[in-house]
Structures are given as structure tokens and as C-alpha cells.
């Protein structure tokens, strides 16, 4: 017996969320009505090319429009004299479904209601084709199974559905009246609410984007409608701001239209721009929250991993154990110039932000360099005077606003972007009193196996300013927030870290060895007293060996391969050694070595740094013992 197997899953390209598109859709109901009627009255096929090109405009073909007219003509009459079909035709061709540019239609019907995929008939056109010039082009509409969902919901109620759709199509018309002859206004309202409930349910998966103000930048917040329900109920707040402080774009514009047209069963427009509240006229806040939880469960179950289940579970466990997306406290430590900051940069690239560059920065990476006077208030935030204009006046006034510190900014971003890796980078941690800087945040540094704070704290400022919660709400580090720091081992005597603080971090030693194959920071140097030109790598290896083995100092006094970043100009390199290396070796190595060893790094004739500075590079400044170690070829670092 011959048989066929099912076709495999099709690979599809993820649809663009269009969060930045300036799309408007002012009459949502009449366009939804027309779209459904065109599909329902024309044999409910999967795909149609409804449009004809007429000069710079498009119009719906009569072959598709007449079945709609025949289905609805008994529900309308004219407000004036004229040919009913011709006026019907003109009214339909004045709707946004016909006149709007394609991007507005795509945002409405692909992203918000997921009723149809809309493309140009001419596949060579891009989606921006209609942005300028005002010319419109024929479009192809492919319908989704959500049309069937509406159809099935009104099985046995076709007349009722036609009544609602016809009312929506012409309720704002100046020429055509909708005539309700078969039902009471209460019955029509119940059918209308049924359709609105379905459309709202379909649109629950739509993503909206706004910008939330911060100290010196904005934080992008992506949310869905269920997030609005939860915000009101869980935070015990009556209203929610859904537009932030910037221009509304993309699907959010359509959501605002839906609210103004009373299309949302669980939300209502308060009359204040962008402020919404729960619509509890027909359902309680508790039931709305239960609905939001069901929606959230639906989101969870819709994300199915189609890979092998055993491999998938192993990968999920591996991701948690390795905290691939955060949940760690790590300090990179080592001698100066070893590349600790580069280690942090690489860690960030390996753990979620592949294209990260410290030079260009990233909105998910919050970076600060600590210093001796750096305080808890700098780290978390503080009240600061701000000069503001007095409305309707030329005068100014001084007010006090809470200015978030780097920790609050990072926590806030991580809280509102829980599916993204976020990094807080603290450079030169040993140069400040970190125990004082962290204060009560110290308790948050204990992490559980998933990377979340094992213990929460009560901090009113963080609860309200960073998390947007009630002042008494507990504060924790989320698993998507990683804290990365650097410690220069030669600076440990500035501010010593106590053991309790240190044990809450993973310490990653950055060796003074060169750990890259093509080490390009490696010019040849001419050092008086060395018989041949010597590479920087061999030279600093020799210095490090001499520091540990001959001067009997600790590894923290050694130098790393990037202690100096060299130029291709030899004369510049001599100045770099003179101005950077010699000063460090004299102050931090030679002066301390005099108390521990009878050997010297520099020639015994040199008694002051000014003498050393004047003699280099034209005179031998290094001691015979050190130069001898170079001549003997003892250049490979052996301080493992």
C-alpha cells in the first residue's frame, strides 16, 4: 500500500513588531466589519486580490463588493435621494481598508487582530512603497483562522452578526443609515459585546512599546494588555499610564483608538491622555485578574520547543546552572594592565549581547567607575535640586526630584525587561569602600540556583522608583541581572574588602601571561644594556619574573600585557615607557623592594625618580642583575 507522510513544518520569518511605525487607524470598527464581510460574502477563501488600480487610488472590485451589498442592503437605507449601490460603493471605498497605506493595515490586521496578512500584489514592492506621494497600489489579503473563530462563535446567529457588522460599517456615515428592525437595542448590544470580546481576546498577544523616563535617558518598556490588568490589580493602583512620555507609535496608536471607541471589554479610557483603568462595570477586578492569568498561561503554552525533549530539558537545566542570561556576581582581578575590562567585555558578549562593545556601549549594560568618595547615595540615588519652568510663566522654580543611581537604573531596566540579559559593571571596586556603597543591598548578593536573590530586602526607594511597586514590596535581584566588577590587585591596600563581601562574588583571576594567539601589542624595544632589541612581551615577562623571584614581592606588583598600549611610532613608545612604566616601577616596586631584598631593579647610581626620568632612554637605567636575567634568556613567565 502506498501512502504519504505529513509535510514537515514550514520555516517562517518572524513578523516585525512595528513598534516604531507611525501608523494611524482612526475607525477600527468599520474596517474590521468590511474586512470580515468581504471574506464572509465571497465564499470564505484563504486569499483574495480585492482591489483595482484607478489612477493613483485603489478601489474594491465590483465582483467582491456586490455580494457584500446584497447581504446587507436590507439593513440600511439612504438619508438622501440617490442610487443605494453607488452610494454604498463610494462609502466603502472611502474606508481606511481601501485608502490607508499598507503599513497601517499591516499593523492593524497582522499585529493587533491577527485577521489577515496583507502584501502588495506586485511582490517587487517594499512595505514603504506608499509612505510618500499618496499613491496607493493593489494589495493581496490572506486570511487567518481567526476569521473562522468569529464565524464559529456566531453559528446559528448569522443575521445577528450581519447586523453588528453593518452597524459598524455605517454608524458614522452621513449618507447611509443602519436600520435595526429585527432586534431590540439591548439584544444588538449583547451581540456587539460578544464580537468585541472575541476581538479583544485575539489581540491579547499584541506587543506595545513605550518609553519610560529615567535620569538621563529613556527605558524601553514592551508590554501586552494583560500587563495592564496585572499592574492595576497587583499594585492596587486605579490607573495606568500606557503611553510613557514620548510620541505613541505602532500598535499602541490602535490600542488608543480601541479604547476611545469602547472596544475593550476590560479597559476604559479615563479621559486623561494615555491613562486607563479597569472597566469593572460588568466584571469584577478579581475576575479580570483571573482572565489575565489565563492569558499568561496561554502565552506560556504557545511557546513550544520542537527540539528533542530530552535535549531541551538538558539545555534548560544547563542554562540555569550556568546562569547564561545572568544571575551572577563576578569580580575580575589581577595586576594592572592584564585586561580585566576586556575580560568583562568578552563575558558580556558570551552571555547574551554578542555585538557588545565597551566603546559603543549598550542600553543593557550599566557601567560606572568607583572612587574613594563614591557613596551609597551615588549608587542607589538621591534627592537633587532641579530647576523647572513654572507653567504659563517666564519664572522658574527649584524642586527636588529623586535622581536614580546606576544600581537603580540597572535594576529598573532588568525588572521591566525580564527576558533580556542585563549587566551592571563596577570598575575599580577596591578604590571605594564597597561595603558602604552597597549598604543594605549587601543582603541581595546571595543568589539561589536560578540566579535570583536568595533573600529580599525592604527598601522603599527601590520598590517604588525601580520596580514601580508598593513601598512595602520586597526587593530582589532578578536572575537576568549580573554584577561584574574589576579589582586591581596592586590597589588592594586602598580599601580592603571584608571576607563576607568577597565570598558573595566569584573571583576570576586574570593572568599576567599573554593569552591571545596574535598578540599585537608587542613592539620591539631598544633598552640600553640589552644586547639586542627585545619584544615588549619578553621585556615585561622578565620584569615580572624579577619582581617575584629576585625582589621577593607579590604577584600584585607585576604588570600585564596591556599595561601600556603601544603606538607604531618607536619614539612615542619610548615616551610611553618613560611616562607610564618607569613611574610605576619606581613608586610601587623599587621603593618597596628596598625593604625586602638586597637586589635592585634599577642601577644603584640612580637615587631619585627625576634622575631616572632624565637618563632614560639614552643611558643604562636598569641594574646589572636585571639585565643579566634578560641576557640569560629567562624571559618565559614562571609564576604559576
Q: Is pLDDT of 311 > 90?
A: no
Res 526: pLDDT: 87
Residue 305's pLDDT band (boundaries 50, 70, 90)?
low
Q: How far apart are CA 428 and CA 432, in angstroms?
A: 8
Q: Is pLDDT of 518 > 70?
A: yes
The strand pairing partners of 602, in sequence order, are 622
Most confident of 305-314, 434-443, 628-637: 434-443
Res 325: pLDDT: 57
Q: Is pLDDT of 321 > 50?
A: no
pLDDT for 361-415, tens place per residue?
889 999 999 998 999 999 998 888 878 777 777 788 887 777 889 999 999 998 8
Q: Is pLDDT of 436 > 50?
A: yes
Residues with Cβ within 8 Å of 581's Cβ and at least 6 positions away in sequence, in order, are 559, 563, 564
Residue 519's pLDDT band (boundaries 50, 70, 90)?
confident
The length of the chain is 640
Res 218: pLDDT: 63
Res 395: pLDDT: 81
What is the pairing mode between strands 481-488 and 329-334? parallel
Report the pLDDT averaged over residues 235-251.
Answer: 84
- Residue 634 per-residue DSSP state: -
CATH number of 324-509: 3.40.50
Q: Is pLDDT of 527 > 80?
A: yes
Give backbone dihedrals phi and psi of 141, rounded to 5 degrees, phi first: -115, 120
pLDDT for 573-620, tens place per residue?
888 888 889 988 998 888 888 777 788 999 989 989 999 999 998 899
Domain ranges across the chain: 28-203, 207-302, 324-509, 524-631
Res 494: pLDDT: 56
Strand, coil or helix: 567: coil
**Concatenated DSSP letters for 440-495?**
GGGGGG-B-TTSSBSS-EE-HHIIIIIS---TTSEE---TTEEEEEEEEGGGTTTS
Res 318: pLDDT: 44
Q: Is 475 exposed, middle or buried (0-12, 13-18, 19+ CB in 10 A)?
A: buried
Q: How far apart are CA 325 and CA 382, in angstroms?
A: 30
Residue 477's pLDDT band (boundaries 50, 70, 90)?
very high
Residue 32's pLDDT band (boundaries 50, 70, 90)?
very high
pLDDT for 541-559, tens place per residue?
999 999 988 888 888 889 8
pLDDT for 164-195, tens place per residue?
999 999 999 999 999 987 788 899 999 999 99
pLDDT for 504-516, tens place per residue?
999 999 888 887 7
Res 31: pLDDT: 96
Res 11: pLDDT: 62
Phi/psi region, residue 72 (left: phi>0; alpha: psi -120 to 50; beta: rest), is alpha
Lowest mean pLDDT among 72-81, 227-236, 357-366, 520-529: 227-236
Percent of the chain predicted with pLDDT > 90: 45
**Concatenated DSSP letters for 16-75?**
P--TT-----S-HHHHHHHHHHHHHTTTT-SEE--EEEETTEEEE-HHHHHHHHHHHGGG
* Cell numbers at 532, concatenated: 639586542
Q: How far is CA 482 from the centre of its chain?
A: 15
Give backbone dihedrals phi and psi of 342, rounded to 5 degrees, phi first: -65, -35
- Terminal C-alpha separation, the chain: 71
Mean pLDDT for the chain overall = 86
Q: What does each C-alpha distance from 522 to 184, 209, 563, 638 come to in angstroms?
A: 88, 48, 12, 19
Strand, coil or helix: 172: coil
Res 317: pLDDT: 45
The strand pairing partners of 209, in sequence order, are 222
Q: How far apart are CA 481 and CA 452, in angstroms?
A: 9
Res 12: pLDDT: 65
Write down the residue that cell numbers 504557545 correspond to. 302
Of 129, 114, 112, 100, residue with least CA distance to 18: 112
Res 154: pLDDT: 96
Q: Is 118 exposed, middle or buried (0-12, 13-18, 19+ CB in 10 A)?
A: buried
Residues with Cβ within 8 Å of 8's Cβ and at least 6 positions away in sequence, in order, are none
Res 636: pLDDT: 55
Does residue 497 or residue 198 have the better pLDDT?
Answer: 198
Amino acid at each position: 500500500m502506498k501512502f504519504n507522510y505529513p509535510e514537515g513544518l514550514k520555516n517562517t520569518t518572524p513578523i516585525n513588531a512595528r513598534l516604531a511605525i507611525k501608523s494611524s487607524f482612526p475607525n477600527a470598527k468599520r474596517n474590521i466589519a468590511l474586512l470580515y464581510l468581504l471574506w464572509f460574502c465571497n465564499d470564505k477563501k484563504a486569499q483574495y486580490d480585492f482591489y483595482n488600480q484607478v489612477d493613483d487610488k485603489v478601489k474594491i472590485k465590483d465582483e467582491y463588493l456586490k455580494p457584500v451589498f446584497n447581504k446587507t442592503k436590507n439593513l440600511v437605507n439612504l438619508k438622501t435621494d440617490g442610487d443605494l449601490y453607488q452610494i454604498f460603493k463610494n462609502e466603502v471605498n472611502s474606508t481606511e481598508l481601501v485608502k490607508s497605506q499598507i503599513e497601517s493595515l499591516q499593523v492593524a490586521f497582522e499585529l493587533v487582530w491577527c485577521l489577515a496578512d496583507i502584501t502588495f500584489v506586485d511582490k517587487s514592492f517594499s512595505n514603504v512603497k506608499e509612505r510618500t506621494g499618496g499613491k496607493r497600489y493593489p494589495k493581496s489579503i490572506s486570511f487567518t483562522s481567526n476569521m473562522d473563530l468569529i464565524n464559529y462563535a456566531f453559528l446559528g446567529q448569522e443575521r445577528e452578526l450581519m447586523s453588528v457588522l453593518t452597524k459598524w460599517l455605517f454608524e458614522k456615515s452621513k449618507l447611509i443609515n443602519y436600520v435595526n428592525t429585527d432586534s431590540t437595542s439591548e439584544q444588538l448590544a449583547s451581540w456587539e459585546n460578544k464580537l468585541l470580546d472575541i476581538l479583544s481576546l485575539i489581540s491579547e498577544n499584541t506587543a506595545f512599546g513605550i518609553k519610560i523616563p529615567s535620569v538621563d535617558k529613556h527605558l524601553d518598556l514592551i508590554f501586552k494588555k494583560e500587563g495592564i490588568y496585572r499592574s492595576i490589580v497587583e499594585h492596587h493602583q486605579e490607573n495606568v499610564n500606557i503611553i510613557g512620555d514620548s510620541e505613541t507609535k505602532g500598535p499602541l496608536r490602535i490600542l488608543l483608538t480601541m479604547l476611545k471607541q469602547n472596544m475593550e471589554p476590560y479597559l476604559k479610557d479615563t479621559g486623561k491622555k494615555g491613562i486607563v483603568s479597569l472597566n469593572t462595570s460588568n466584571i469584577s477586578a478579581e475576575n479580570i485578574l483571573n482572565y489575565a492569568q489565563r492569558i499568561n498561561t496561554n502565552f506560556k503554552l504557545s511557546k513550544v520547543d520542537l527540539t528533542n525533549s530530552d535535549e531541551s530539558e538538558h539545555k534548560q537545566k544547563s542554562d540555569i546552572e550556568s546562569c547564561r542570561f545572568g544571575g551572577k556576581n563576578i569580580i575580575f582581578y589581577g595586576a594592572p594592565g592584564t585586561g580585566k575590562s576586556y575580560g568583562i567585555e568578552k563575558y558580556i558578549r558570551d552571555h547574551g549581547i554578542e555585538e557588545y562593545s565597551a566603546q559603543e556601549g549598550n542600553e543593557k549594560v550599566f557601567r560606572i567607575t568607583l572612587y574613594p568618595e563614591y557613596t551609597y547615595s551615588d549608587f542607589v540615588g538621591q534627592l537633587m535640586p532641579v530647576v523647572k519652568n513654572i507653567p504659563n510663566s517666564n519664572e522658574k522654580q527649584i524642586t527636588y526630584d529623586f535622581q536614580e543611581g546606576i544600581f537603580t537604573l540597572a535594576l529598573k531596566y532588568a525588572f521591566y525587561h525580564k527576558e533580556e540579559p542585563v549587566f551592571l559593571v563596577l570598575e575599580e571596586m577596591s578604590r571605594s569602600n564597597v561595603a558602604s556603597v552597597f549598604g543594605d543591598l549587601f543582603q541581595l548578593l546571595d543568589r539561589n540556583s536560578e540566579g535570583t536573590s536568595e533573600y529580599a530586602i525592604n527598601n522603599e526607594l527601590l520598590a517604588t522608583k525601580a520596580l514601580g511597586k508598593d513601598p512595602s514590596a520586597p526587593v530582589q535581584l532578578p536572575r537576568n541581572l549580573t554584577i561584574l566588577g574589576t579589582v586591581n590587585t596592586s590597589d588592594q591596600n586602598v580599601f580592603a574588602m571584608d571576607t563576607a563581601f568577597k565570598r558573595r562574588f566569584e573571583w576570576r583571576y586574570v593572568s599576567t601571561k599573554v593569552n591571545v594567539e596574535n598578540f599585537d601589542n608587542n613592539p620591539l624595544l631598544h633598552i640600553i644594556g640589552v644586547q639586542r632589541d627585545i619584544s615588549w612581551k619578553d621585556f615585561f615577562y622578565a620584569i615580572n619574573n624579577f619582581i617575584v623571584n629576585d625582589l621577593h614581592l607579590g604577584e600584585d606588583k607585576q604588570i600585564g600585557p596591556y599595561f601600556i598600549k603601544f603606538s607604531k611610532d618607536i619614539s612615542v613608545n619610548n615616551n610611553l615607557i618613560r611616562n607610564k612604566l618607569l613611574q610605576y616601577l619606581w613608586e610601587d616596586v623599587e621603593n618597596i623592594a628596598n625593604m625586602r631584598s638586597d637586589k635592585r631593579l634599577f642601577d644603584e647610581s640612580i637615587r631619585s625618580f627625576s634622575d631616572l626620568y632624565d637618563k632614560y632612554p639614552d643611558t643604562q637605567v636598569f641594574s646589572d642583575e636585571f639585565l643579566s636575567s634578560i641576557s640569560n634568556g629567562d624571559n618565559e613567565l614562571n609564576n604559576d
